[in-house]
Amino acid sequence: MAPSNHQSLSAGRYLIERLHQLGLGHVFGIPGDYVLGFMHQIEESQLKLIGTTNELCAGYAADAYARIRGLGALCVTYAVGGLSAANAVACAYAEKSPLVVISGAPGVRERRKRSQVHHMVGAHDAQRRAFEPITAASAVIEDPLTAFREIDRVLATCLRRKQPVYIELPRDRVDMLPVRDHEPEIDAERSDPDELAEAVAEIVSMLAAAKSPIIIAGIEVHRLGLTDQVLAFAEQHNIPICSTLLSKSVISEKHPLYAGTYVGALSRVGVVEFVEGSDCVLSLGAPITDMDTGVFTSRLDPEKTINATSANIRIRHHSFEDVLLRDLVGSLEVASLPRYFRSMPARDNPLDLPWLVNTSVPLTTSRLFHKVNSVLSGDIAVIADPGDAMFGAIDLTVHQGTEFLSSAFYATLGWAVPASIGAQVARPGVRPLVLVGDGAFQMTGTELSTAVRLGLDPIVIVLNNKGYLTERFILEGKFNDIHEWQYHKLPELLGGGCGRLVTTEVEFDRALDEAIASPGKFYLINAILDSHDSSPALRRLGASLADTLK
């Protein structure tokens, strides 16, 4: 509950209190003179400030935290800090992660006296304008008449849209008081009742006529907190559920109704045939992107497919623009529909076969993922960087909901290691297992310094194939080569953690078992792979694309 009177709270402290009331426990960031006053207020509050090695990593960590906790926050200084973090904010925007970006700024008074102060890049509103395309709302907190309402508006938009918002706090406005009492405003968004009723009637009609329907549970099901409702609906009517790549682990992949991760040609043949053979596809919260459709290799009949997202609902040739996804799901829960009797696809995932190590043979990508799959449990979260680390993870069986995280649409390399920091801070009882290519690791891998400082214990597996494998797959060239690091020696530099170099199956088997059995410190496994070896998923995609070009 909000306090009855906020007049005694300054703008900075009001923002901190509202964030705490909304469930935030931590703020990620880097200090700078324009934001020091606000950071001092954070340190005096119930929130905990988590410093990282740079602003980009702070943004990735805050993004992962938001995906797990429902809200994240990034705090940076003006321009050199904010613009450094902009790529992470763009990722959160593209993948619908509710992130609050708080930037310090030159004071209003000093801007008036001196047109140019350090870090500025032209006009004083240049950073705010730079963030406009990658945030759902923005506000500059400088007028005591509107500042507190603006904070409420921007935070409400973040929670409603599940996308980043931008709050700029000039350093001489951190202690600004309101001119009158202020109470937080409650945001109330509603569906158009007539559109909702018509959309539900059409969907129910299609489902009632179906014999073998399926639900595609997209990323918005998780972001909007609809997982339990969608799962209850599926269980009530015995409808199988599949995920997309971005929504992988939206439900436990051990659930009897889970049919697999459907990513077009990236998926196993059995999953593809089951999904595309359904006579009614109810796609909930799954925006159509090239990544989630396996570079548009999915083959869903539009006459049998219902696409419902937070933006609109498309049913055959009809479109509904003013229906909230949560209202649609709620209406479907109480709709009169049959209970279906459809056999689930065969559990033919080769990674689910018992793991038996082959002594002394070189490690391959497919065998690496087989071993990883064998150690997964309910207290391990998989965090995969884009590239073959992510594609190979499609076939992993994740035990609990929201235990697979990846930048699976924006696909920004270097996301996974700093994301593991945010993920473990958000959920301390779950240990991150990070899958990252060597090229991506060189971008942000030194963020493991923060893991040492905070006592975190991610297990980081570097898929060391001496360059950018996915790019090699598209077009070979020397531009895909990178300098070889001795990744396993990084713990010596950081003064903590443990590193292992592995080249064979038996070495990888022992190293991963040792890491699992040794909580309390991070493990970095430098897994040497052939430079052209790839996961089965990437090979499946290649074969499908080759067929389309014939």
Q: Which residue from 472, 450, 451, 465 is spatially nearest to 542, judged by alpha carbons?
A: 472
Residue 135 sits in a domain whose CATH number is: 3.40.50.970
Q: Do 132 and 203 belong to one domain? A: no
Q: Decide if 344 is inside a domain.
A: no
Distance (Å) of CA 219 to CA 78, 308, 433: 32, 12, 21
- pLDDT score of 250 more than 90: yes
Cα gap 443→445, rounded to integer Å:
6
Q: What is the DSSP letter of 115?
A: S
Q: Do 397 and 501 belong to one domain? A: yes
Q: Do 115 and 158 belong to one domain? A: yes
Q: What is the pLDDT of residue 425?
A: 98
Average pLDDT over residues 80-97: 97
Number of residues that make up the chain:
550
Q: Decide if 235 is inside a domain.
A: yes
Q: What is the pLDDT of residue 281?
A: 97
Q: Are strands 241-243 and 380-384 parallel, antiparallel or unpaired?
A: unpaired
Whether the Cβ atoms of residue 322 and residue 191 lie closer than 8 Å to each other: yes
What is the number of domains present in the chain? 3
Element (H, E) at 453: helix 448-454
Q: Do 221 and 266 belong to one domain? A: yes
Sign of the CA dihedral running 508, 514, 517, 519: negative
Q: What is the pLDDT of residue 1?
A: 36
Q: Do 238 and 312 belong to one domain? A: yes
Q: Decide if 186 is inside a domain.
A: no
Whether the Cβ atoms of residue 74 and residue 29 lie closer than 8 Å to each other: yes
Q: Decide if 5 is inside a domain.
A: no
Q: What is the pLDDT of residue 207?
A: 97
Q: Decide if 360 is inside a domain.
A: yes
Is this prediction's pTM over 0.85? yes
Residue-by-residue DSSP string for 375-390: H--TTEEEEE-TTHHH
Last residue of a domain, one of 299, 333, 367: 333
Q: What is the pLDDT of residue 113?
A: 66
Q: What is the pLDDT of residue 2?
A: 43
Q: Do 458 and 534 belong to one domain? A: yes
- pLDDT score of 315 more than 50: yes
Average pLDDT over residues 522-548: 83
Q: Do 356 and 287 belong to one domain? A: no
* Two tokens, residue 467: 């360059």
Least confident of 447-451, 525-529, 541-545: 541-545
Q: Decide if 183 is inside a domain.
A: no
More confident residue, 115 or 378: 378
Q: What is the pLDDT of residue 194?
A: 96
Q: Decide if 340 is inside a domain.
A: no
Q: Decide if 525 is inside a domain.
A: yes
- pLDDT score of 212 more than 70: yes
* Two tokens, residue 200: 């539900």
Q: Do 311 and 386 belong to one domain? A: no
What is residue 431's three-state secondary structure?
Answer: strand
What is residue 412's three-state secondary structure?
Answer: coil
Q: Do 387 and 519 belong to one domain? A: yes
Last residue of a domain, one of 301, 333, 365: 333
Average pLDDT over residues 380-397: 94
Average pLDDT over residues 319-333: 95
Q: What is the pLDDT of residue 3?
A: 42
Cα gap 188→186, rounded to integer Å:
6
Residue 220 sits in a domain whose CATH number is: 3.40.50.1220
Q: Which domain holds residue 42?
A: 11-170
List pLDDT tens digits, range 266-303. Answer: 899 999 999 999 999 999 999 988 888 888 889 999 99
Q: What is the pLDDT of residue 4?
A: 41
List pLDDT tens digits, range 418-434. Answer: 999 999 999 999 999 99
Q: Do 25 and 164 belong to one domain? A: yes
Q: Do 459 and 399 belong to one domain? A: yes
- pLDDT score of 189 more than 50: yes
Q: What is the pLDDT of residue 548?
A: 54
